[in-house]
């Protein structure tokens, strides 16, 4: 038990009184300071730095040709809406690839047109509506930092506002012409066209200034392969046609390669590569079925490929003497399985 005498209590009282006085003095001091503080003023919200829509951004002098193109395109009655309404909607959200005057004149020259603003008159309003809507990705603000730098540069398969087929019961999402957005290092690309100024913020999305106008591809893969003006893919064309032999039309490889909105990467063997493969296949068959030594089998196979060429793929059974052997080795099923691999 702690016992305090009178002397101890006297000391404690003195300490308590001094502490109390100091505490009261501090409170009075704080009150006096508070009275001298100015009254707080309400904080005004800071408006967004970019209040202009994409359409308003095009009022800049270096976008004058693009602005004229948008105005002309907007006279076209489109099922997907008037272009000026889309770009001018402050509640919208989109990514817009904007070619400035220099980029548009550069594009005219690439198309064989005079590098002059008057070349805009070559295009009808409906054509401009389609071409410029291809520069829009709706519903998303794709800044360059959202694109991962990979090889190859085409690493984002995106749907543009250019509608190929509207939504329907059979095709609920519809078809839209795709854009490929990518990046190499810190540089952005759209369809392999360099982005010269990225991430221009607007009230209804983001703009990217591009080196040239983005033109939709005018051919599908099958058209390019089938035309083959240089004669580099004649074996490949024959192999696809042979692979389609006897297959339900809904599963034809030609149909798949003709689908405009499909996202394919096709590794196409050249004629030389095909010939080398055929020599090996035929030599192996000759060794197994006729017991030829490897050297003789290779000479035999090379002779057949040199003489009959693409016919070995398209119609092997028509080749004299060895047609049955070739047709047994090189079947449509073989090409169907091979095509799925590439």
Q: Of 217-231, 232-246, 328-342, which has the strongest mean pLDDT? A: 232-246
Q: What does the pLDDT read at residue 250? A: 57
Query: Residues 279-301: what's their mean pLDDT?
Result: 85
116: which strand partners?
none
Q: Is the pLDDT of residue 38 over 60?
A: no
Query: Residues 94-119: what's their mean pLDDT?
Result: 94
- Strand stretches in 154-223, DSSP E: 156-165, 175-184, 187-190, 193-202, 205-210
Q: What does the pLDDT read at residue 39? A: 55
* pTM to 2 decimal places: 0.61
Q: What does the pLDDT read at residue 22? A: 46
- How far is 63 from 120, CA to CA, in rounded Å? 14
148 or 186, which is more confident?
A: 186
247 or 271, which is more confident?
A: 271
Domain ranges of the chain: 54-210, 221-341
Q: Is the pLDDT of residue 131 over 50?
A: yes
293 or 326, which is more confident?
A: 293
Q: What does the pLDDT read at residue 301? A: 87
- How far is 257 from 261, CA to CA, in rounded Å? 10
Please report which confidence band the pLDDT of residue 292 belongs to, taking 50, 70 and 90 as the band edges: confident
At what angle are helices 271-290 and 294-308 packed, to 10 degrees? Answer: 130
- CB atoms < 10 A from the CB of 254, how many? 17
Express each pLDDT in 139-171 by its tens digit: 889 998 888 766 554 567 788 888 877 777 877
257 or 43, which is more confident?
A: 257
- CB atoms < 10 A from the CB of 178, how many? 23
Q: Is the pLDDT of residue 92 over 80?
A: yes
Among 105-114, 131-140, 167-176, the range scoring the smallest mean pLDDT is: 167-176
Q: Is the pLDDT of residue 120 over 50?
A: yes
| Number of residues assigned to the chain | 342
Burial group, residue 23, by CB count within 10 angstroms (0-12, 13-18, 19+): exposed
Please report which confidence band the pLDDT of residue 58 belongs to, taking 50, 70 and 90 as the band edges: very high
- How far is 156 from 190, CA to CA, in rounded Å? 10
293 or 261, which is more confident?
A: 293
Q: Is the pLDDT of residue 6 over 80?
A: no
Query: Which is the CATH superfamily of the domain at 54-210?
Result: FAS1 domain (2.30.180.10)
Closest of 243, 242, 245, 236 to residue 275, by C-alpha: 236
Express each pLDDT in 202-225 by its tens digit: 999 999 999 999 987 666 777 778
159: which strand partners?
178
Query: Residues 231-250: what's their mean pLDDT?
Result: 76
158: which strand partners?
179
Please report which confidence band the pLDDT of residue 198 belongs to, taking 50, 70 and 90 as the band edges: very high
């Amino acid at each position: 038990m702690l016992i305090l005498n009178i002397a101890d209590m006297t000391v404690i009282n003195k300490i308590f009184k001094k502490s109390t006085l100091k505490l009261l003095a501090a409170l009075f001091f704080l009150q006096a300071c508070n009275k001298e503080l100015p009254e707080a003023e309400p904080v005004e919200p800071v408006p967004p730095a970019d209040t202009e829509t994409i359409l308003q951004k095009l009022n800049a002098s270096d976008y004058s040709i693009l602005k004229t193109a948008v105005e002309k395109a907007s006279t076209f009655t489109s099922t997907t809406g008037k272009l000026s309404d889309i770009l001018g909607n402050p509640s919208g959200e989109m990514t817009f690839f904007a070619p400035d005057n220099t980029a548009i004149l550069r594009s005219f020259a690439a198309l064989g047109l005079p590098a002059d603003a008057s070349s805009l008159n070559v295009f009808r309003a409906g054509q401009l509506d389609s071409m410029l809507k291809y520069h829009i990705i709706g519903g998303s603000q794709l800044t360059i930092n959202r694109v991962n730098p990979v090889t190859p540069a085409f690493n984002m398969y995106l749907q543009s506002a250019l509608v190929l087929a509207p939504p329907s019961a059979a095709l609920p999402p519809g078809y839209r012409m795709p854009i490929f957005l990518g990046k190499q290092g810190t540089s952005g690309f759209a369809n392999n066209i360099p982005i010269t100024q990225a991430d221009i913020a607007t009230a209804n999305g983001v703009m990217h200034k591009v080196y040239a106008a983005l033109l939709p591809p005018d051919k599908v893969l099958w058209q390019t392969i089938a035309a083959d003006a240089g004669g580099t893919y004649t074996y490949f064309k024959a192999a696809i046609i042979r692979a389609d032999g006897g297959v339900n039309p809904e599963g034809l490889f030609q149909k798949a390669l003709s689908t405009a909105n499909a996202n394919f990467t096709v590794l196409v063997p050249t004629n030389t590569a095909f010939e080398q493969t055929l020599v090996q296949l035929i030599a192996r068959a000759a060794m197994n079925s006729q017991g030829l030594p490897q050297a003789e089998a290779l000479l035999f196979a090379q002779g057949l490929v040199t003489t009959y060429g693409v016919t070995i793929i398209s119609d092997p059974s028509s080749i004299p003497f060895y047609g049955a052997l070739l047709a047994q080795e090189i079947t449509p099923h073989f090409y169907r399985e091979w095509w799925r691999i590439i």
